[in-house]
Amino acid sequence: MHTPERAGRSSGPSAAQPELVLVTRTGCHLCADARAVVAAVAAELGLTWQERSLDDDAALAGRFAEEVPVVLVNGVQRDFWTIDPRRLRRTLLAIMEPPAG
């Protein structure tokens, strides 16, 4: 199983720490690209992330069998197949820095 890149959180304690998960599987040709995108965006924002494999989790396999790679943010599917770094960054920033008021 792949061990994902991890980055330390650099913002203050008041910033929300979204849960960022990349769902992959063995033999997935899009997963390497997705892994690079998630790692780069997470590092840029100072976030940690996890990678979970369908090979190790029957519930995930049942839910995402034909959609991997999948990005989940706080348990919500945000992207799949080709991960858009701009969309992922916007999603994470919206959680980390909610509008004032």
Report H helices in the chain: 31-45, 58-64, 85-96
Question: Burial of 98 by CB count in 10 Å (0-12 exposed, 13-18 middle, 19+ buried)?
Answer: exposed
Sheet holding 70-73, edge to edge: 50-53, 20-24, 70-73, 76-80
Taken in order 74, 55, 58, 70, the sign of the CA dihedral is positive
Question: Given this model, what pLDDT does residue 16 score?
Answer: 74
Residues 4-48 have pLDDT tens digits of 443 333 444 345 799 999 999 999 989 999 999 999 999 999 999
Question: Given this model, what pLDDT does residue 97 score?
Answer: 84
* pTM of the predicted structure, to 2 decimals: 0.81
Site of tokens 């992959």: 24
C-alpha–C-alpha distance, residues 21 and 43, integer Å = 14
**What's domain 20-96's superfamily in CATH?**
Glutaredoxin (3.40.30.10)
pLDDT averaged over every residue in the chain: 86
